[in-house]
Structure 1
Amino acid sequence: MILFLSIPQFSEPFTHLLSGRVFTTLINAGFSQRKRPLSNIYSVGPQHLWNCQQYHFSPRLYCHLSVTSRHTTRLGILSKYSKTQFYSTRPSSTKGSNMFEKPIVVAVEGNIGSGKTVMLDFFEKNVPEVEILMEPVDKWRNYNGHNLLDMMYKDPERWSFTFQSYVQLTMAESHQTKQTKPVLMRERSIFGAKYCFVENLYECEKMCKAEYDVLTGWFDWIVENQKPKIDRIIYLRTSPENCQHRIKERSRNEESSIPLEYLQDLHQLHEDWLVNKTRFSLPAPVTVLDANLPLDQMFKLYTDDQNELLTVR
Protein backbone atom coordinates (compact mmCIF):
# COMPACT_ATOMS: atom_id res chain seq x y z
CA MET A 1 0.00 0.00 0.00
CA ILE A 2 1.26 3.48 -0.82
CA LEU A 3 0.40 6.53 1.25
CA PHE A 4 1.15 10.19 0.82
CA LEU A 5 1.57 12.74 3.57
CA SER A 6 0.12 15.98 2.25
CA ILE A 7 1.44 19.10 3.91
CA PRO A 8 0.46 22.70 3.10
CA GLN A 9 3.34 24.25 1.19
CA PHE A 10 6.37 25.21 3.26
CA SER A 11 4.61 24.95 6.66
CA GLU A 12 7.29 25.06 9.36
CA PRO A 13 8.57 23.05 11.08
CA PHE A 14 7.65 20.38 8.54
CA THR A 15 9.79 21.60 5.70
CA HIS A 16 13.03 23.36 5.14
CA LEU A 17 15.10 24.03 2.05
CA LEU A 18 18.57 22.63 1.61
CA SER A 19 20.59 23.08 -1.58
CA GLY A 20 17.45 23.84 -3.53
CA ARG A 21 15.67 20.61 -2.54
CA VAL A 22 12.82 20.14 -0.13
CA PHE A 23 13.37 17.87 2.84
CA THR A 24 10.61 16.83 5.21
CA THR A 25 11.02 16.75 8.96
CA LEU A 26 8.28 14.51 10.25
CA ILE A 27 8.32 15.83 13.79
CA ASN A 28 5.24 15.25 15.91
CA ALA A 29 3.66 13.19 13.15
CA GLY A 30 2.76 9.54 13.41
CA PHE A 31 0.03 6.99 12.99
CA SER A 32 -1.64 4.49 15.28
CA GLN A 33 -0.93 0.87 14.60
CA ARG A 34 -3.39 -1.41 16.35
CA LYS A 35 -4.55 1.58 18.41
CA ARG A 36 -1.07 2.12 19.84
CA PRO A 37 -0.05 5.77 19.23
CA LEU A 38 3.41 6.53 17.96
CA SER A 39 5.14 9.80 18.80
CA ASN A 40 7.23 9.89 15.64
CA ILE A 41 6.61 8.21 12.33
CA TYR A 42 10.19 6.95 12.10
CA SER A 43 9.66 4.93 15.27
CA VAL A 44 7.56 2.50 13.28
CA GLY A 45 10.77 0.83 12.21
CA PRO A 46 12.00 -0.56 8.92
CA GLN A 47 9.87 -3.70 9.21
CA HIS A 48 6.75 -1.55 9.01
CA LEU A 49 7.87 1.49 7.09
CA TRP A 50 10.22 0.49 4.32
CA ASN A 51 10.47 3.60 2.23
CA CYS A 52 10.24 7.31 2.89
CA GLN A 53 11.02 9.82 0.18
CA GLN A 54 9.90 13.32 -0.65
CA TYR A 55 8.62 14.96 -3.79
CA HIS A 56 7.84 18.58 -4.46
CA PHE A 57 4.53 18.95 -6.25
CA SER A 58 3.31 22.52 -6.66
CA PRO A 59 1.59 23.84 -4.61
CA ARG A 60 2.05 21.14 -1.97
CA LEU A 61 4.77 18.97 -0.60
CA TYR A 62 4.09 15.25 -0.69
CA CYS A 63 6.01 12.69 1.30
CA HIS A 64 5.74 9.25 -0.28
CA LEU A 65 5.39 6.51 2.33
CA SER A 66 5.31 2.83 1.44
CA VAL A 67 4.04 0.67 4.29
CA THR A 68 3.00 -2.93 4.56
CA SER A 69 -0.77 -3.24 4.38
CA ARG A 70 -1.06 -5.36 7.53
CA HIS A 71 0.26 -2.43 9.56
CA THR A 72 -2.35 0.07 8.42
CA THR A 73 -5.32 -1.16 10.45
CA ARG A 74 -5.82 2.31 11.75
CA LEU A 75 -4.27 5.45 10.34
CA GLY A 76 -4.37 8.85 11.95
CA ILE A 77 -2.38 11.98 12.55
CA LEU A 78 -1.24 12.64 16.09
CA SER A 79 0.17 16.11 15.57
CA LYS A 80 -1.35 19.52 16.14
CA TYR A 81 -1.15 20.30 12.40
CA SER A 82 -4.74 19.55 11.55
CA LYS A 83 -4.31 20.32 7.84
CA THR A 84 -1.79 17.54 7.45
CA GLN A 85 -3.49 14.45 6.11
CA PHE A 86 -2.84 10.96 4.87
CA TYR A 87 -4.49 9.51 1.83
CA SER A 88 -4.10 6.24 0.03
CA THR A 89 -3.22 5.84 -3.64
CA ARG A 90 -4.83 2.46 -4.12
CA PRO A 91 -6.38 2.16 -7.59
CA SER A 92 -10.00 3.15 -7.98
CA SER A 93 -12.43 2.76 -10.85
CA THR A 94 -11.99 6.42 -11.79
CA LYS A 95 -8.38 7.27 -11.04
CA GLY A 96 -6.59 4.14 -12.14
CA SER A 97 -3.49 2.52 -10.68
CA ASN A 98 -1.30 5.18 -9.10
CA MET A 99 2.42 5.53 -9.67
CA PHE A 100 4.75 3.23 -7.77
CA GLU A 101 1.99 0.75 -6.88
CA LYS A 102 3.17 -1.71 -9.51
CA PRO A 103 5.99 -1.67 -12.09
CA ILE A 104 5.01 0.22 -15.22
CA VAL A 105 6.73 1.13 -18.48
CA VAL A 106 6.18 4.56 -20.03
CA ALA A 107 7.27 5.23 -23.61
CA VAL A 108 8.01 8.85 -24.53
CA GLU A 109 7.27 9.27 -28.21
CA GLY A 110 7.77 12.28 -30.44
CA ASN A 111 9.48 13.76 -33.45
CA ILE A 112 13.22 14.36 -33.71
CA GLY A 113 13.96 17.34 -31.48
CA SER A 114 10.65 17.20 -29.59
CA GLY A 115 12.31 17.24 -26.14
CA LYS A 116 12.35 13.56 -25.16
CA THR A 117 15.87 13.60 -23.71
CA VAL A 118 15.15 16.71 -21.62
CA MET A 119 11.99 15.15 -20.22
CA LEU A 120 13.68 11.89 -19.32
CA ASP A 121 16.59 13.71 -17.68
CA PHE A 122 14.10 15.70 -15.59
CA PHE A 123 12.37 12.60 -14.24
CA GLU A 124 15.63 10.74 -13.65
CA LYS A 125 16.97 13.60 -11.55
CA ASN A 126 13.78 14.42 -9.64
CA VAL A 127 11.94 11.13 -9.05
CA PRO A 128 14.07 8.37 -7.47
CA GLU A 129 11.53 5.68 -8.39
CA VAL A 130 12.03 6.37 -12.10
CA GLU A 131 14.75 4.83 -14.24
CA ILE A 132 15.24 5.86 -17.84
CA LEU A 133 16.21 3.99 -20.97
CA MET A 134 17.54 6.13 -23.78
CA GLU A 135 17.63 5.24 -27.44
CA PRO A 136 20.92 3.44 -28.19
CA VAL A 137 22.15 6.23 -30.46
CA ASP A 138 25.78 5.45 -29.65
CA LYS A 139 25.30 1.95 -31.08
CA TRP A 140 23.72 3.38 -34.23
CA ARG A 141 26.70 5.71 -34.64
CA ASN A 142 29.26 2.98 -34.18
CA TYR A 143 28.41 -0.56 -35.20
CA ASN A 144 31.75 -2.26 -35.76
CA GLY A 145 33.11 1.10 -36.83
CA HIS A 146 30.17 1.97 -39.10
CA ASN A 147 28.13 5.11 -38.39
CA LEU A 148 24.82 3.73 -39.63
CA LEU A 149 22.92 6.82 -38.58
CA ASP A 150 25.13 9.10 -40.66
CA MET A 151 25.08 6.68 -43.59
CA MET A 152 21.27 6.61 -43.57
CA TYR A 153 20.92 10.40 -43.55
CA LYS A 154 23.48 10.84 -46.33
CA ASP A 155 22.09 8.13 -48.63
CA PRO A 156 18.70 6.88 -47.39
CA GLU A 157 17.88 4.93 -50.55
CA ARG A 158 20.98 2.80 -50.01
CA TRP A 159 21.14 2.56 -46.22
CA SER A 160 17.63 3.02 -44.76
CA PHE A 161 16.91 -0.72 -44.68
CA THR A 162 20.27 -1.51 -43.09
CA PHE A 163 19.84 1.21 -40.51
CA GLN A 164 16.24 0.39 -39.63
CA SER A 165 17.09 -3.30 -39.38
CA TYR A 166 19.63 -2.48 -36.71
CA VAL A 167 17.28 -0.01 -35.02
CA GLN A 168 14.62 -2.72 -34.79
CA LEU A 169 17.14 -5.17 -33.36
CA THR A 170 18.37 -2.74 -30.70
CA MET A 171 14.81 -1.74 -29.85
CA ALA A 172 13.83 -5.40 -29.40
CA GLU A 173 16.84 -5.86 -27.15
CA SER A 174 16.00 -2.78 -25.10
CA HIS A 175 12.45 -4.03 -24.51
CA GLN A 176 14.00 -7.05 -22.80
CA THR A 177 15.91 -4.88 -20.32
CA LYS A 178 15.24 -5.92 -16.74
CA GLN A 179 13.33 -3.23 -14.85
CA THR A 180 14.91 -2.36 -11.50
CA LYS A 181 12.64 0.49 -10.34
CA PRO A 182 8.86 0.94 -10.15
CA VAL A 183 8.73 3.15 -13.25
CA LEU A 184 10.75 2.67 -16.43
CA MET A 185 10.58 5.63 -18.81
CA ARG A 186 12.02 4.86 -22.20
CA GLU A 187 12.85 7.04 -25.18
CA ARG A 188 10.56 5.80 -27.93
CA SER A 189 9.61 2.17 -28.44
CA ILE A 190 9.76 -0.45 -31.14
CA PHE A 191 6.23 0.63 -32.08
CA GLY A 192 7.21 4.25 -32.75
CA ALA A 193 10.26 3.14 -34.70
CA LYS A 194 8.09 1.04 -37.01
CA TYR A 195 4.90 3.09 -37.24
CA CYS A 196 6.62 6.43 -37.81
CA PHE A 197 10.18 6.05 -39.08
CA VAL A 198 9.98 2.86 -41.15
CA GLU A 199 6.62 3.90 -42.57
CA ASN A 200 7.98 7.31 -43.50
CA LEU A 201 10.98 5.87 -45.34
CA TYR A 202 8.71 3.51 -47.27
CA GLU A 203 6.14 6.19 -48.14
CA CYS A 204 8.91 8.55 -49.27
CA GLU A 205 10.23 5.76 -51.52
CA LYS A 206 13.53 5.60 -49.69
CA MET A 207 12.83 1.93 -48.98
CA CYS A 208 11.53 -0.59 -51.50
CA LYS A 209 8.53 -2.89 -50.92
CA ALA A 210 10.65 -6.00 -50.38
CA GLU A 211 12.74 -4.26 -47.68
CA TYR A 212 9.61 -2.89 -46.03
CA ASP A 213 7.97 -6.32 -46.01
CA VAL A 214 11.03 -7.91 -44.39
CA LEU A 215 11.08 -5.29 -41.63
CA THR A 216 7.33 -5.65 -41.14
CA GLY A 217 7.63 -9.43 -40.90
CA TRP A 218 10.33 -9.16 -38.23
CA PHE A 219 8.33 -6.51 -36.38
CA ASP A 220 5.19 -8.67 -36.32
CA TRP A 221 7.19 -11.65 -35.05
CA ILE A 222 8.80 -9.60 -32.26
CA VAL A 223 5.46 -8.18 -31.13
CA GLU A 224 3.80 -11.59 -31.22
CA ASN A 225 6.57 -13.55 -29.50
CA GLN A 226 8.45 -11.09 -27.29
CA LYS A 227 5.40 -8.97 -26.44
CA PRO A 228 7.20 -5.66 -25.77
CA LYS A 229 5.65 -4.09 -22.68
CA ILE A 230 4.26 -0.56 -22.80
CA ASP A 231 1.76 0.65 -20.17
CA ARG A 232 1.51 4.31 -21.15
CA ILE A 233 2.62 6.49 -24.04
CA ILE A 234 3.49 10.15 -23.56
CA TYR A 235 3.45 12.01 -26.86
CA LEU A 236 5.50 15.21 -26.90
CA ARG A 237 3.54 17.07 -29.55
CA THR A 238 5.87 19.60 -31.17
CA SER A 239 5.61 21.58 -34.38
CA PRO A 240 8.08 20.57 -37.12
CA GLU A 241 9.43 24.13 -37.11
CA ASN A 242 10.27 23.99 -33.41
CA CYS A 243 11.85 20.57 -33.89
CA GLN A 244 14.05 21.93 -36.66
CA HIS A 245 15.13 24.85 -34.47
CA ARG A 246 16.09 22.52 -31.60
CA ILE A 247 17.95 20.17 -33.92
CA LYS A 248 20.07 23.10 -35.09
CA GLU A 249 20.73 24.13 -31.49
CA ARG A 250 22.00 20.71 -30.38
CA SER A 251 24.18 20.39 -33.50
CA ARG A 252 24.53 16.65 -34.01
CA ASN A 253 26.66 16.18 -37.10
CA GLU A 254 24.43 13.44 -38.51
CA GLU A 255 21.32 15.64 -38.26
CA SER A 256 22.72 18.73 -39.96
CA SER A 257 21.10 17.90 -43.30
CA ILE A 258 17.59 17.01 -42.05
CA PRO A 259 15.08 19.01 -44.16
CA LEU A 260 11.89 20.50 -42.74
CA GLU A 261 9.83 18.31 -45.08
CA TYR A 262 11.21 15.18 -43.40
CA LEU A 263 10.13 16.49 -39.98
CA GLN A 264 6.71 17.42 -41.33
CA ASP A 265 6.19 13.90 -42.65
CA LEU A 266 7.23 12.37 -39.32
CA HIS A 267 4.96 14.78 -37.47
CA GLN A 268 1.95 13.72 -39.53
CA LEU A 269 2.65 10.04 -38.90
CA HIS A 270 2.86 10.69 -35.14
CA GLU A 271 -0.41 12.63 -35.33
CA ASP A 272 -2.20 9.91 -37.27
CA TRP A 273 -0.99 7.20 -34.90
CA LEU A 274 -1.25 8.89 -31.48
CA VAL A 275 -3.81 11.70 -31.87
CA ASN A 276 -6.12 10.97 -34.81
CA LYS A 277 -5.77 7.21 -34.26
CA THR A 278 -6.43 6.57 -37.91
CA ARG A 279 -3.38 4.38 -38.54
CA PHE A 280 -1.88 1.48 -36.62
CA SER A 281 -2.91 0.07 -33.27
CA LEU A 282 -2.06 1.64 -29.94
CA PRO A 283 -0.18 -0.62 -27.50
CA ALA A 284 -1.14 1.58 -24.53
CA PRO A 285 -3.17 4.67 -23.52
CA VAL A 286 -1.77 7.98 -24.80
CA THR A 287 -1.19 11.27 -22.99
CA VAL A 288 -0.53 14.20 -25.31
CA LEU A 289 1.60 17.11 -24.05
CA ASP A 290 2.15 20.41 -25.81
CA ALA A 291 5.95 20.35 -26.07
CA ASN A 292 6.15 23.69 -27.86
CA LEU A 293 6.17 25.45 -24.47
CA PRO A 294 9.33 27.07 -23.09
CA LEU A 295 11.54 24.83 -20.97
CA ASP A 296 10.55 26.33 -17.62
CA GLN A 297 6.87 25.79 -18.42
CA MET A 298 7.57 22.21 -19.47
CA PHE A 299 9.31 21.54 -16.15
CA LYS A 300 6.30 22.97 -14.30
CA LEU A 301 4.01 20.76 -16.38
CA TYR A 302 6.07 17.68 -15.54
CA THR A 303 5.91 18.59 -11.84
CA ASP A 304 2.22 19.46 -11.69
CA ASP A 305 1.07 16.47 -13.78
CA GLN A 306 3.55 13.96 -12.42
CA ASN A 307 0.91 11.71 -10.92
CA GLU A 308 -1.08 11.64 -14.14
CA LEU A 309 1.96 10.95 -16.29
CA LEU A 310 3.03 7.99 -14.17
CA THR A 311 -0.43 6.45 -13.79
CA VAL A 312 -1.95 3.54 -15.65
CA ARG A 313 -5.70 3.76 -16.18
Structure 2
Amino acid sequence: MAEVHLAFAGNIGVGKTEFTQQVLKEPNRALLLSFLKKGKGMKAFQEVPERRLLGEFYKDKQRWAFASQMYYFTIRLNTLKRIQDFEGIAVQDRTIFEDKNVFGKTNFELGNMHELEYYVYDQTYKEICNSFQPPTLLVYLKVNDVKVLKHRISKRGRDEEKEIPVEYLQKLNDNYDKLFDEYPYHKIAVNAETDMFEHPSYHTTVVCEIAQKLKKIGIKQKVDDEPADQSMLMKGKDFNF
Protein backbone atom coordinates (compact mmCIF):
# COMPACT_ATOMS: atom_id res chain seq x y z
CA MET A 1 0.00 0.00 0.00
CA ALA A 2 1.22 3.51 -0.79
CA GLU A 3 3.00 5.07 2.17
CA VAL A 4 1.57 8.48 1.28
CA HIS A 5 -1.36 8.91 -1.12
CA LEU A 6 -1.88 12.45 -2.43
CA ALA A 7 -5.08 12.82 -4.43
CA PHE A 8 -5.75 15.92 -6.53
CA ALA A 9 -9.40 16.69 -7.18
CA GLY A 10 -10.98 19.40 -9.29
CA ASN A 11 -13.22 20.32 -12.17
CA ILE A 12 -12.54 19.79 -15.88
CA GLY A 13 -9.75 22.13 -16.99
CA VAL A 14 -8.58 23.03 -13.49
CA GLY A 15 -5.02 21.79 -14.09
CA LYS A 16 -4.82 18.40 -12.34
CA THR A 17 -2.65 16.75 -14.99
CA GLU A 18 -0.22 19.67 -15.11
CA PHE A 19 -0.04 19.73 -11.33
CA THR A 20 0.73 16.04 -10.94
CA GLN A 21 3.50 16.40 -13.53
CA GLN A 22 5.00 19.39 -11.72
CA VAL A 23 4.94 17.58 -8.37
CA LEU A 24 7.43 15.05 -9.77
CA LYS A 25 9.93 17.79 -10.63
CA GLU A 26 12.47 19.45 -8.35
CA PRO A 27 12.33 21.05 -5.85
CA ASN A 28 8.81 19.71 -5.27
CA ARG A 29 9.89 16.08 -5.56
CA ALA A 30 12.63 16.39 -2.94
CA LEU A 31 10.32 18.08 -0.46
CA LEU A 32 7.65 15.40 -0.70
CA LEU A 33 10.15 12.53 -0.69
CA SER A 34 11.36 13.79 2.69
CA PHE A 35 8.12 12.33 4.10
CA LEU A 36 8.97 8.86 2.79
CA LYS A 37 10.26 6.39 5.38
CA LYS A 38 10.94 3.19 3.48
CA GLY A 39 8.96 3.32 0.26
CA LYS A 40 10.14 3.20 -3.32
CA GLY A 41 10.08 6.77 -4.55
CA MET A 42 7.17 8.73 -5.96
CA LYS A 43 4.87 7.95 -8.87
CA ALA A 44 2.05 9.76 -10.64
CA PHE A 45 -1.12 7.80 -11.39
CA GLN A 46 -2.67 9.86 -14.15
CA GLU A 47 -5.92 9.26 -15.94
CA VAL A 48 -5.95 8.94 -19.72
CA PRO A 49 -9.36 10.07 -21.03
CA GLU A 50 -11.27 7.80 -23.40
CA ARG A 51 -11.78 10.56 -25.94
CA ARG A 52 -14.17 8.68 -28.21
CA LEU A 53 -16.53 7.95 -25.31
CA LEU A 54 -16.26 11.54 -24.08
CA GLY A 55 -17.11 12.79 -27.53
CA GLU A 56 -20.26 10.65 -27.66
CA PHE A 57 -21.22 11.74 -24.14
CA TYR A 58 -21.03 15.45 -24.93
CA LYS A 59 -23.10 14.89 -28.09
CA ASP A 60 -25.83 12.92 -26.29
CA LYS A 61 -25.53 12.97 -22.49
CA GLN A 62 -28.72 11.03 -21.79
CA ARG A 63 -27.62 8.22 -24.09
CA TRP A 64 -24.07 7.93 -22.78
CA ALA A 65 -24.01 9.22 -19.17
CA PHE A 66 -24.44 5.83 -17.49
CA ALA A 67 -21.92 4.09 -19.77
CA SER A 68 -19.41 6.90 -19.22
CA GLN A 69 -19.81 6.82 -15.45
CA MET A 70 -19.41 3.05 -15.25
CA TYR A 71 -16.37 3.15 -17.54
CA TYR A 72 -14.53 5.80 -15.54
CA PHE A 73 -15.53 4.18 -12.26
CA THR A 74 -13.86 0.97 -13.48
CA ILE A 75 -10.75 2.88 -14.59
CA ARG A 76 -10.37 4.63 -11.21
CA LEU A 77 -11.01 1.39 -9.38
CA ASN A 78 -8.11 -0.16 -11.27
CA THR A 79 -5.99 2.89 -10.39
CA LEU A 80 -6.76 2.41 -6.70
CA LYS A 81 -5.64 -1.21 -6.91
CA ARG A 82 -2.36 -0.11 -8.51
CA ILE A 83 -1.88 2.48 -5.77
CA GLN A 84 -2.42 -0.21 -3.15
CA ASP A 85 0.39 -2.23 -4.72
CA PHE A 86 2.79 0.73 -4.84
CA GLU A 87 5.16 1.26 -1.91
CA GLY A 88 5.98 4.94 -1.99
CA ILE A 89 4.29 8.30 -2.53
CA ALA A 90 1.36 7.95 -4.93
CA VAL A 91 0.13 11.10 -6.69
CA GLN A 92 -3.33 10.71 -8.23
CA ASP A 93 -4.98 13.22 -10.57
CA ARG A 94 -8.65 12.36 -10.02
CA THR A 95 -10.29 10.35 -7.24
CA ILE A 96 -13.03 7.78 -7.14
CA PHE A 97 -14.91 10.05 -4.69
CA GLU A 98 -15.51 12.47 -7.56
CA ASP A 99 -17.17 9.75 -9.62
CA LYS A 100 -20.35 9.48 -7.61
CA ASN A 101 -20.38 12.69 -5.60
CA VAL A 102 -19.64 15.05 -8.48
CA PHE A 103 -20.03 13.56 -11.96
CA GLY A 104 -22.61 10.89 -11.16
CA LYS A 105 -24.61 13.25 -8.97
CA THR A 106 -24.48 16.05 -11.55
CA ASN A 107 -25.65 13.83 -14.40
CA PHE A 108 -28.49 12.47 -12.28
CA GLU A 109 -29.59 15.95 -11.17
CA LEU A 110 -29.52 17.20 -14.77
CA GLY A 111 -31.62 14.27 -15.95
CA ASN A 112 -28.83 12.63 -17.93
CA MET A 113 -29.11 9.43 -15.87
CA HIS A 114 -32.39 7.61 -15.26
CA GLU A 115 -33.30 6.99 -11.62
CA LEU A 116 -32.77 3.24 -12.02
CA GLU A 117 -29.40 3.77 -13.72
CA TYR A 118 -28.28 5.99 -10.86
CA TYR A 119 -29.49 3.43 -8.31
CA VAL A 120 -27.40 0.68 -9.94
CA TYR A 121 -24.41 3.01 -10.15
CA ASP A 122 -24.79 4.18 -6.54
CA GLN A 123 -25.13 0.64 -5.14
CA THR A 124 -22.09 -0.55 -7.10
CA TYR A 125 -20.08 2.41 -5.83
CA LYS A 126 -21.04 1.84 -2.19
CA GLU A 127 -20.39 -1.91 -2.32
CA ILE A 128 -16.92 -1.58 -3.81
CA CYS A 129 -15.59 1.64 -2.30
CA ASN A 130 -16.13 0.54 1.29
CA SER A 131 -13.12 -1.77 0.89
CA PHE A 132 -10.65 1.03 0.05
CA GLN A 133 -8.75 3.35 2.36
CA PRO A 134 -9.14 7.10 1.68
CA PRO A 135 -6.12 9.08 0.43
CA THR A 136 -3.67 10.42 2.98
CA LEU A 137 -4.61 13.90 1.80
CA LEU A 138 -7.21 15.20 -0.66
CA VAL A 139 -6.05 18.37 -2.45
CA TYR A 140 -8.97 20.27 -3.96
CA LEU A 141 -7.84 22.50 -6.83
CA LYS A 142 -10.58 25.11 -6.71
CA VAL A 143 -11.62 27.59 -9.41
CA ASN A 144 -14.69 29.69 -8.64
CA ASP A 145 -15.07 31.30 -12.06
CA VAL A 146 -16.09 28.66 -14.60
CA LYS A 147 -15.11 31.04 -17.40
CA VAL A 148 -11.51 30.36 -16.35
CA LEU A 149 -12.15 26.64 -16.78
CA LYS A 150 -13.80 27.19 -20.15
CA HIS A 151 -10.78 29.20 -21.33
CA ARG A 152 -8.33 26.49 -20.23
CA ILE A 153 -10.41 23.78 -21.88
CA SER A 154 -10.39 25.79 -25.10
CA LYS A 155 -6.61 26.26 -24.93
CA ARG A 156 -5.87 22.53 -24.69
CA GLY A 157 -7.78 22.02 -27.91
CA ARG A 158 -9.59 18.70 -27.49
CA ASP A 159 -12.32 18.52 -30.13
CA GLU A 160 -14.66 16.48 -27.94
CA GLU A 161 -14.58 19.19 -25.22
CA LYS A 162 -15.32 22.21 -27.41
CA GLU A 163 -19.04 22.21 -26.73
CA ILE A 164 -19.02 21.65 -22.97
CA PRO A 165 -21.77 24.01 -21.68
CA VAL A 166 -20.81 26.58 -19.05
CA GLU A 167 -23.92 25.49 -17.13
CA TYR A 168 -22.57 21.93 -16.91
CA LEU A 169 -19.23 23.19 -15.57
CA GLN A 170 -21.04 25.34 -13.01
CA LYS A 171 -23.11 22.40 -11.78
CA LEU A 172 -19.93 20.33 -11.45
CA ASN A 173 -18.33 23.20 -9.53
CA ASP A 174 -21.26 23.36 -7.10
CA ASN A 175 -21.04 19.63 -6.42
CA TYR A 176 -17.26 19.82 -6.01
CA ASP A 177 -17.75 22.42 -3.29
CA LYS A 178 -20.31 20.18 -1.58
CA LEU A 179 -17.99 17.18 -1.82
CA PHE A 180 -15.14 19.11 -0.22
CA ASP A 181 -17.35 20.50 2.55
CA GLU A 182 -18.71 17.05 3.41
CA TYR A 183 -15.50 15.05 2.88
CA PRO A 184 -14.72 13.56 6.34
CA TYR A 185 -11.00 12.84 5.91
CA HIS A 186 -7.83 14.96 5.66
CA LYS A 187 -8.16 17.67 3.02
CA ILE A 188 -6.87 21.02 1.81
CA ALA A 189 -8.34 23.49 -0.69
CA VAL A 190 -6.06 25.36 -3.10
CA ASN A 191 -6.84 28.45 -5.16
CA ALA A 192 -6.24 27.22 -8.71
CA GLU A 193 -7.39 30.34 -10.55
CA THR A 194 -3.76 31.46 -10.81
CA ASP A 195 -2.28 31.01 -14.28
CA MET A 196 0.26 28.27 -13.55
CA PHE A 197 2.33 29.06 -16.63
CA GLU A 198 2.67 32.77 -15.86
CA HIS A 199 3.70 32.06 -12.24
CA PRO A 200 6.45 29.39 -12.25
CA SER A 201 6.64 29.34 -8.44
CA TYR A 202 2.96 28.49 -8.07
CA HIS A 203 3.35 24.70 -7.89
CA THR A 204 6.19 24.88 -5.37
CA THR A 205 4.15 27.23 -3.20
CA VAL A 206 1.27 24.76 -3.19
CA VAL A 207 3.57 21.79 -2.48
CA CYS A 208 4.90 23.66 0.56
CA GLU A 209 1.32 24.06 1.78
CA ILE A 210 0.78 20.34 1.26
CA ALA A 211 3.95 19.58 3.23
CA GLN A 212 2.73 21.70 6.13
CA LYS A 213 -0.61 19.89 6.09
CA LEU A 214 1.10 16.48 6.07
CA LYS A 215 3.02 17.52 9.18
CA LYS A 216 -0.17 18.63 10.91
CA ILE A 217 -1.88 15.29 10.30
CA GLY A 218 1.08 13.39 11.73
CA ILE A 219 3.12 12.36 8.69
CA LYS A 220 6.68 12.72 9.94
CA GLN A 221 9.39 14.27 7.83
CA LYS A 222 12.92 12.84 7.80
CA VAL A 223 15.14 15.67 9.01
CA ASP A 224 18.22 14.34 7.22
CA ASP A 225 16.42 14.40 3.88
CA GLU A 226 14.65 17.73 4.28
CA PRO A 227 15.67 20.03 1.41
CA ALA A 228 18.09 22.69 2.58
CA ASP A 229 16.23 25.37 0.66
CA GLN A 230 12.79 24.60 2.07
CA SER A 231 12.77 27.81 4.12
CA MET A 232 13.52 29.72 0.93
CA LEU A 233 10.68 27.96 -0.85
CA MET A 234 8.26 29.14 1.80
CA LYS A 235 9.16 32.81 1.33
CA GLY A 236 7.23 35.18 -0.85
CA LYS A 237 3.97 33.25 -0.88
CA ASP A 238 1.57 35.33 -2.94
CA PHE A 239 -1.32 32.94 -3.48
CA ASN A 240 -4.52 32.57 -1.48
CA PHE A 241 -5.55 29.15 -0.20
| TM-score bracket for this pair, using the shorter chain length | 0.7 to 0.9
8 Å CA contact 2:6–2:135 kept in 1: the answer is yes
Aligned to 2:73: 168
* Residue in structure 2 matching 1:130, options 42, 45, 67: 42
CA distance in 1, matches of 2:56, 2:179: 27
TM-score, normalised to structure 2, is: 0.77
Higher relative contact order (CA 8 A, sep 6+): 2
Aligned to 1:33: none
Instruction: Provide Cα deviations, 1:177-223, integer angstroms capped at 9, x if missing partner.
Output: 04435211101111111100000000000111000000001001111
The answer on 1:231 being equivalent to 2:132 is no
Letter of the 1:135 partner, please give it: E
Equivalent residue in structure 1 for 2:165, among 237, 246, 259:
259
Contact 1:175 1:229 in 2 (8 A): no
CA displacement at 1:300 relative to structure 2? 3.9
Contact 2:139/2:187 (8 A) holds in 1: yes
Aligned pairs, number: 199
| Equivalences for residues 75-154 of structure 1 within 5 A | 103-126=3-26, 127=29, 129-137=41-49, 140-141=50-51, 147-154=52-59
Q: Does 1:292 align with 2:193?
A: yes
d(CA) in 2 for partners of 1:132, 1:262: 28
Q: Residue 228 and residue 172 in structure 1: after superposition, are their counterparts in 2 closer, same or farther (change >3 A)?
A: farther
Displacement of 1:284 after TM fit?
2.4
Which whole-Å CA distance do the structure 1 matches of 2:179 and 2:139 have between them?
13
Q: Which has the higher strand share?
A: 1
1:222 matches 2:138: no
Structure 1 stretches lacking a partner, 5+ long = 1-101, 142-146
SS in 2 for 1:207: coil
SS at match of 2:81: coil
2:3 and 2:87 in contact (8 A); partners too: yes
TM-superposed CA distance for 1:287, in Å, is: 0.2
CA contact (8 A) 1:107 1:233 kept: yes
In the alignment, the residues of structure 1 paired with residue 186 and residue 68 of structure 2 have an alpha-carbon distance, to the nearest angstrom, of 29
The percent of aligned pairs where both chains have the same amino acid is 26
Residue of structure 2 in register with 1:197 after alignment: 103
What's the TM-score, normalizing by structure 1? 0.60
Runs of 4+ in 1 over 4 A off after TM superposition: 309-312
**CA distance in structure 1 between the aligned counterparts of 2:215 and 2:97, rounded to whole angstroms:** 20
Q: Per the alignment, do residues 218 and 254 of structure 1 end up closer, same or farther by CA in structure 2, a change over 3 Å counting?
A: same
- Structure 2: give runs of 5+ residues left out of the alignment: 34-40, 218-241
Paired with 1:184 and 1:119, the residues of 2 have a C-alpha distance of: 13
Deviation at 1:301, TM superposition (A): 1.6
The answer for the alignment partner of 1:39 in structure 2 is none
Q: Considering only aligned residues, what root-mean-square deviation do their CA atoms show, in Å? A: 1.9
Distance apart, 1:241 and its partner CA: 1.4
Which structure carries more helix by proportion?
2
